[in-house]
Amino acid sequence: MNKRVYGILGISSIMGNWNADFTGYPKTTSSGEVFGSDKAFKYPIKRMWENQGEKVLYIKSMKLSEGKKGEVELIPRSLKERYEYIFNEEDLKKDKDSKKVLTNLFSTIDVKNFGATFAEEGNNISITGAVQIGQGFNRYEDSYAEEQQILSPFRDASDKGNKKEDQEEAKSSTLGTKIVSNEAHYFYPFTVNPLAYKEFVELGVTEGYIEEDYRKFKEASLCAATSFATNSKVGCENEFALFVETESNLYLPNLCQYVEFEKGEEKNTISLNCGDLVNSLRDRISAVEIYYNPYTTEINTDIEEYKKYNIFTKQEV
């Protein structure tokens, strides 16, 4: 792959919770801006890859473990155990061949795209990913959190003590809470640098970042959020993407700073105000592609010579 790619990935959240903090509320900065972390975007992508049969290393997986007293617990695998599981290794500590470990790491689709920090005994490896995704900030000004009370079908069977009110409470169904955003529209900046693995290519542990790797990332980034329908993520969908393919030695700034979102009565408008920048470099840019939801959104931009696609059908609009 002999090009760089710069772009934006957009997520809409309608009565969903795209990325919660430890209190259950949508993540915010200290100044109150709602945002989603890069991990929130990468997780559904990695889950989609795993469901497609790809090897994915950095994803939560569970195992049954027998404790000292013979009880069997369901616990998450450690990184070492996950590596041993997907590569059928008996014990990573006994593997002193760093070239083999590196080759194995690069054979997983998530490491090939996003890189890795593999700090295990005897193998302390750091790989800067070819694909870098920034923090996604909400551009809808009227976004706020909704807290819903949920009635459980079960009573609380724990010991509530001898007080009458406690005993009455124990006979009642328990309450839960679900927290969602009324509406939010997140925009993530990303870059793809195929030269990130140059030194690892020279070591002979990978063929480098190739077009097939980029194709898999692009395809998953356009639909992974829509496909990832957990309880809190229902209502969260891919609604926008911008891909700007350039020469391998062209460097562009964060394109999210040029994005504006406007709520409309019938359709929303996403404005891309980076035409001056992109048009001035058109001789060094090979393609500009915009993917969006044409049923809910209109695109307003001063970029010249670009193609628009339906983000669901992938058909040109």
Residues 139-151 have pLDDT tens digits of: 999 999 999 888 7
Q: What are phi and psi of 312, to 5 degrees?
A: -90, -45
Residue 175 CB neighbours (<10 A): 10
- pLDDT reported for residue 65: 87
228-255 pLDDT, tens digit each? 866 657 789 999 999 999 999 999 999 9
Percentage with pLDDT > 70 across the chain = 92
Lowest model confidence (mean pLDDT) among 42-46, 123-127, 286-290: 123-127
**To 10 degrees, the CA torsion angle through 26, 28, 33, 38?**
-80
User: Which of these, 291, 286, 287, 288, lies nearest to 314 by C-alpha position?
Assistant: 291
pLDDT digits (tens, 9 = 90+) for 116-141: 999 887 788 999 999 999 999 999 99
Give the range among 50-54, 159-163, 192-196, 214-218 with minimum mean pLDDT: 159-163
- Residue ranges in 192-315 assigned as alpha helix (H): 198-202, 211-221, 224-227, 275-280
For strands 123-128 and 131-133, give the pairing: unpaired
Annotate 102-170 with DSSP letters as a single string: HHHHHTSHHHHHHEEEEEETTEEEEEE-SEEE--EEE--TT--EEEEEEEEEEE--S---S-HHHHHHH
User: Residue holding tokens 């027998």?
Assistant: 66
156: pLDDT strictly greater than 80: no
Provide the β-strand partners of residue 185: 12
State pTM to two decimals. Answer: 0.90
Tens-place pLDDT, residues 191-216: 999 999 999 999 999 999 999 999 99
- Spell out the domain ranges in the chain: 3-78+133-141+182-310, 146-177
